[in-house]
Every structure is written in C-alpha cells, then in structure tokens.
Amino acid sequence: MVITLKQELIMNSFKTIDGRGANVHIAGGACITIQFVTNIIIHGLHIHGCKPTGNAMVRSSPSHYGWRTMADGDAISIFGSSHVWVDHCSLSNCADGLVDAVMGSTAITISNNYFTNHNEVMLLGHSDSYTRDKGMQVTIAFNHFGEGLIQRMPRCRHGSFHVVNNDYTHWIMYAIGGSSDPTINSQGNRYVAPRNPFAKESRDSLRRVEELELEVGGDLLLNGAFFIPSGAGAAASYARASSLGAKSSSMIGSITSTAGALLCRVGSKC
C-alpha cells in the first residue's frame, strides 16, 4: 500500500507502527512526527518523498484536534521525546531530514535502516545554543548509508553518540560531523570513500578541535577514506557513548545485508 498523508501523523506514547508482512510506503506527502512522547517503535516502512505541510488543523490524539504550524518535511521527526526505536526502514528523498532528533530527545536507537538519495540525512541536536541536548544519547547501528547521500550521517551536537557497525558506501561532503562538544564513538564501521574521501569532519573546519570529541575503534577505511582527528576525549565521555559491543568491521557486509524494510510475508519467519 502507498499512504499519502495530507498532514503529519503525530504519534502517542507506547505505540508501534509495524510494516512487516506488507509492502508499506509512506510517500509523497506529510510523514511521521514523534513529539513529547515516549516508548515508540517504527519498523518495516518505506518512507520517501516527504513534503513540508502544516498551517492546518491536525489531530494529535483521539481527543485533540488543533492548529499546527509548518512541518519541515522530515521522514521521521523526533522532538522532545525518549525511548524511540527506528528499525528496518528504507528512507530516501525528503524535503528536510530523514531522521532528525532535537529539543531534549534521548534514548534513541536507529538500526538496520537503508538510507539513500538524500542531502541532510540525520540531524541530532537542535542548535549549538540549545544545551539541553547535552543529555542526548543515540545509538546508530547496523545501517547502510548508500547511494546518493551527501552529508549528516549523522550531524551531532552536544550529546553522546555511538556509531557502530554501519556500512558507508557513499557521501559527497562528509559522513559524520559535529559541533558544540558532542562525543562520538565510532566503532567497527566500514567507510568506502567516494569522490570526496572525508569519513568524518567538523561542520566547520575553522572550529576549535575541542568542540568535537571523536573516538575511533576498528573502523575499516577504504578507497582513501580518512578521519580528521579532533578532541582530547576522556574515558568517562566515551563510556557514555557506548551502548553495545562492536563486531569486527570485516563482518559489515553480512551485518548490514538485510538493512532496510524486510521482505516479510505472513506465515513465514522474518
């Protein structure tokens, strides 16, 4: 099925959207908003072609229907929310981000997804001045960052981020960047450099190196991919940016082979 939303789908707490067993596309209109809620799972969806919507009356719960201003056109927008899991989705070609998490969001896992054909893939942290995002913790694991991507895989501010066992096969500007003292722990990833071989860089090369702490552990750098070292780092900081044990980067092909929405069928194992 192809679902074209006229306005944002605003989720309530303790809800799962599960596309397994069907070929579900949310495409060509508004997309998903996770705002001021907790305990959310989004699984097994194709999300693409999301557009800015709003300046309209939108239902946010069974009992509330009210005015919403413009949405940016993110595939999945996480705003002031916690305990969110985005797993086995295929995301591409939206007006703004594919997964953005801002305004104090935390306890987020983004796993087993397939990202393609997009500019600003993933923003984690609202702004350099919004210090409440210092408490943000995000795990990015087992994803395939594929063809047609340009930057922000992810772009981090303030918080603690574990980037582990992902496959990066395309970027034009950079893969991972940050500012305002994020702690990024990169472990067991595979980076296959395209034309511009920056695996990781600060958003602004003129920023002081202390503004981005980057720990590298066992990443596989191919075709001239390289890191721009930054930040002195501290054991306590990187412990906060560690959420699971990394597998060897030599296993990335098999680990990410099922990234994206699964071809599940009712009555068979998925």
Which amino acids are annotated catalytic? 152
47 is written with which tokens?
């999300």
Instruction: Identify the DSSP state of 229.
Output: -
Decide: 255 and 142 in contact? Cβ < 8 Å: yes
**SS3 state of residue 240:** helix
State the Cα–Cα distance between residues 180 and 202, nearest whole angstrom: 10
Identify which of 122, 118, 220, 120 has the alpha carbon closest to the alpha carbon of residue 165. 220
DSSP letters along 34-60, please?
Answer: EES-EEEEEES-EEE------SEEEEE
Query: What is the rounded distance in angstroms from the CA atom of residue 154 to the CA atom of residue 57?
Result: 32
- For residue 5, the number of C-alpha atoms closer than 13 Å in the C-beta half-sphere is 26
| Residue 52 · residue 31 · CB < 8 Å | no
DSSP 30: B
- Report the alpha-carbon angle 200-206-212, nearest 5: 45
196 vs 173: CA distance, rounded Å: 7
- Give the amino acid at 117: N
Measured distance CA(213)–CA(128) in Å, rounded: 15
